[in-house]
Amino acid sequence: MRLFAAVLPPEAAVAELAARVKALRALPGADGLRWTEREGWHFTLAFFGEVAEDVLPELHTRLARAAHRHHPHELRLAGGGRFDDRVVWVGVDGDSEALRRLADSAEAGGRRAGVPMDRHRPYHPHLTIARARARSSGHGSPHHGSSHHGSSHHGSSGHGSPHHGSTTSLAPYVDGLMDFAGREWTVGELSLVRSHPPAPGVPGQQPRYEVVAAWPLGH
């Protein structure tokens, strides 16, 4: 099964972001983007890809240990940026360093469990809200709505799928996130999430995400 470790924002934070995204989707050209449904909003910490059944017990054990070693911490959804003209994302304010440490532990847990992992890259949290529909050329450089929010990272909600440039400029949508700052919330849980790919040949269908296990932080 296709798995990743993640932090899921609470419904109150999701609702605040959904109100801002609704305004962004009313901007000219918004139909040129594929907007991620709110049910799919999450911060990927480590992407494991296809995990064999016989590896799952050890992966669960390792992630439980990772969660135990970290304490709950405070974040808020805030600001945003883009990857060229491919992806629009929302960043975080608060104890993002604690989130980075949790991501590093989740990745290390996957490696120790025997999951084949890509090379380590520094983790910069972001939550993807939209992707370009059209493809042309692009180089994958991150662009930021502000200097203190996230950038490229080792596990987006796209989970390694390649994307290229778009004929739709993402600048207006990033500008629309510049002053966004949601309520503070507590990261208190590490989740293991399964990604169910969309059915082939069904236009507009998005992946479905299922939480298969979760561990409280600090317990």
Entry pTM: 0.83
Query: Known catalytic residues?
Result: 42, 126
Could you tell me the domains of the chain?
2-216 (3.90.1140.10)
SS (H, E, C) the chain: CEEEEEECCCHHHHHHHHHHHHHHCCCCCHHHEEECCHHHCCEEEEEEEECCHHHHHHHHHHHHHHHHCCCCEEEEEEEEEEECCCEEEEEEEECHHHHHHHHHHHHHHHHHHCCCCCCCCCCCCCEEEEEECCCCCCCCCEEECCCCCCCCCCCCCCCCCCCCCCCCCCHHHHHCCCCCECCCEEECEEEEEEEECCCCCCCCCCCEEEEEEEEECCC
Across the 219 residues of the chain, what is the mean pLDDT of every consecutive 10-residue run? 97 98 96 93 96 97 98 98 91 97 98 92 92 58 46 41 58 96 98 90 80 96
> What is the reported pLDDT for 187?
98
